[in-house]
């Protein structure tokens, strides 16, 4: 099976493979990652999410292996984000259990569900800021977890501004997965929660090490967390890292071009809602800047076909996978790279490559997923 998957832009990072211990140490230590795993693995409903071999897609991509970390079943919240915001709230509550916590965040959906889920469990008041293009299905899912929903005009970055303003006015605690000058401690906890995926992956891979890792970037928090936690395990022998993002919110691409964080004005929202961020997290930026080999931008055209391919395997040896829109991005990037021989050679992807991708979400918007499966998207 083949589809015309393509990329919009690609950029080779001249600073690749320069990640060092002092940069990783600014985010977290191995002990802090171990503590996150210890805490989260004791939560009710915890189980490692599966690592699946995508044999049929690997054949079409002309690579040896594709490992797909399927986060669709994470705590029944449907995405890896369940690890981050919830872990941050857990830490805040344990640090000052006598305080009456009121939390707030801005979200496209998945991070907000993690925050609202943990807030309900901890009996904390929760306020979620969403922008105009967040679907009603995602807003309803947040409200069902007990959060007060505040819809604002504009895009994701505008919802962050609204959240920050209300937090200052009311004395609320922001629990964001992105960071900015003066706001780093809580996003560090969020990213440390994400490192649980690496803890699981190392065990699931056994002694095998991927040659390449393709990581999605919205604000870059997940990419930064996984790169840093994998570096703590593999050190300078880290697999080659490729970052993929939407071409309508290409903040990593634009920042690497300028060698500084650059704010992108999002004019057209992407179908991959979780990637719709206009600015790289201040915490994630130095890690991505020093570690990423390439950044690839893609449009929405390949999302529907890839989601359907994951749902309908073309070999009998892999399960059907319910994958959300963002989960398709790493695989689209891989197939796009393989269809450009010069880029594939530059990146070093060939028939011996073992590629790790993250299935970041399941059908977190059931209506969108149904439309994709009907072929309407």
Residue-wise pLDDT for 333-345, tens only, equals: 999 999 999 999 9
Q: What is the mean pLDDT of the chain?
A: 95
Question: Would the pLDDT of 192 be above 90?
Answer: yes
Q: CB within 8 A of 362, min separation 6: which ones?
A: 71, 72, 73, 78, 79, 322, 323, 324, 327
Domains 9-80+193-374 and 81-190 share a fold: yes
Q: Please report how many Cα atoms fall inside a 13 Å half-sphere around the Cα of residue 227, on the Cβ side.
A: 34
Give how far Cα 141 sits from Cα of 27, 126, 138, 320, 364, Å.
Answer: 31, 14, 5, 25, 9
Element (H, E) at 292: strand 292-298
* pTM score of the predicted model: 0.96
Residues 6+ away with beta carbon under 8 Å from 122? 89, 90, 93, 101
Residues designated as active site: 81, 108
pLDDT of residue 212: 98
Return the CATH fold of 9-80+193-374. Rossmann fold (3.40.50)
Quote the percentage of the chain above a pLDDT of 70: 99
The answer to whether the CB of 65 falls within 8 A of the CB of 53 is yes
Predicted local distance difference test score (pLDDT) of residue 2? 53
Helix (H, G, I), strand (E, B) or coil at 56: helix
Residue 18 pLDDT: 82
Comparing 15-24, 209-218, 275-284, 293-302, the range with the smallest average pLDDT is 15-24
1 has a pLDDT exceeding 90: no
- CA 187, CA 185: separation in Å to the nearest integer? 6
| pLDDT, position 98 | 76
Q: How far apart are CA 375 and CA 3, in angstroms?
A: 14
Q: 252 Cβ partners below 8 Å, 6+ apart? A: 217, 220, 223, 243, 245, 280, 288, 292, 295
Q: Would you tell me which CATH number, out of the four given (3.40.50.1100, 3.40.50.300, 3.40.1190.20, 3.40.50.720), belongs to the domain 81-190?
A: 3.40.50.1100
In the numeric block, the tokens 């930064």 are attached to 224
| Cα(337)–Cα(30) distance, integer angstroms | 33
The residue to which tokens 């401690």 are assigned:
185
Q: What is the mean pLDDT of residues 154-173?
A: 96
Q: What are residue 177's DSSP bridge partners?
A: none
pLDDT of residue 3: 62
> Structural domain boundaries of the chain?
9-80+193-374, 81-190
pLDDT category of residue 97 using cuts at 50, 70 and 90: confident
φ, ψ (nearest 5 deg) of residue 163: -60, -45
What tens digit of pLDDT does each residue of 101-135 get? Answer: 999 999 999 999 999 999 999 999 999 999 999 99
Query: Cα–chain-centroid distance for residue 200?
Result: 16
Q: What is the pLDDT of residue 100?
A: 87
> For position 15, what pLDDT does the model report?
83
């Amino acid at each position: 099976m083949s589809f015309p998957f393509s990329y919009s832009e690609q950029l080779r990072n001249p600073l690749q493979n320069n990640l060092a211990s002092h940069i990783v140490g600014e985010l977290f230590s191995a002990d802090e990652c171990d503590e996150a795993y210890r805490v989260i693995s004791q939560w009710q409903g915890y189980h490692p999410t599966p690592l699946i071999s995508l044999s049929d897609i690997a054949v079409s991509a002309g690579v040896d292996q594709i490992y797909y970390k399927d986060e669709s079943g994470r705590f029944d919240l449907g995405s890896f984000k369940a690890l981050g915001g919830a872990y941050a709230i857990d830490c805040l509550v344990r640090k000052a259990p006598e305080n009456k916590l009121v939390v707030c965040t801005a979200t496209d959906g998945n991070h907000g569900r993690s925050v609202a889920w943990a807030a309900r469990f901890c009996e904390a008041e929760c306020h979620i800021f969403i922008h105009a293009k967040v679907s009603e299905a995602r807003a309803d899912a947040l409200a069902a977890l007990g959060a007060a929903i505040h819809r604002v005009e504009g895009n994701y970055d505008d919802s962050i501004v609204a959240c920050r303003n209300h937090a200052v006015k009311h004395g609320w605690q922001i629990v964001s997965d992105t960071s900015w000058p003066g706001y780093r401690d809580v996003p560090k906890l969020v990213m440390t929660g994400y490192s649980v995926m690496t803890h699981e992956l190392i065990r699931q891979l056994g002694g095998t090490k991927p040659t390449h890792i393709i990581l999605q970037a919205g604000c870059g928090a997940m990419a930064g967390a996984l790169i840093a936690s994998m570096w703590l395990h593999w050190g300078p022998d880290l697999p080659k890292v490729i970052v993929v993002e939407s071409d309508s919110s290409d903040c990593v691409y634009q920042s690497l071009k300028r060698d500084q964080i650059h704010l992108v004005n999002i004019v057209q929202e992407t179908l991959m809602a979780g990637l719709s961020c206009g600015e790289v997290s201040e915490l994630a930026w130095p890690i991505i800047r020093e570690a990423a080999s390439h950044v690839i931008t893609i449009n929405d055209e390949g999302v529907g076909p890839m989601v359907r391919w994951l749902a309908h395997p073309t070999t009998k040896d892999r399960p059907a996978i319910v994958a959300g829109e963002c989960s398709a991005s790493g695989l689209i990037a891989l197939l796009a790279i393989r269809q450009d021989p010069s880029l594939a050679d530059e990146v070093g992807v060939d028939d011996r490559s073992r590629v790790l991708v993250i299935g970041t979400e399941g059908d977190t918007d059931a209506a969108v997923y149904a439309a994709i499966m009907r072929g309407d998207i």
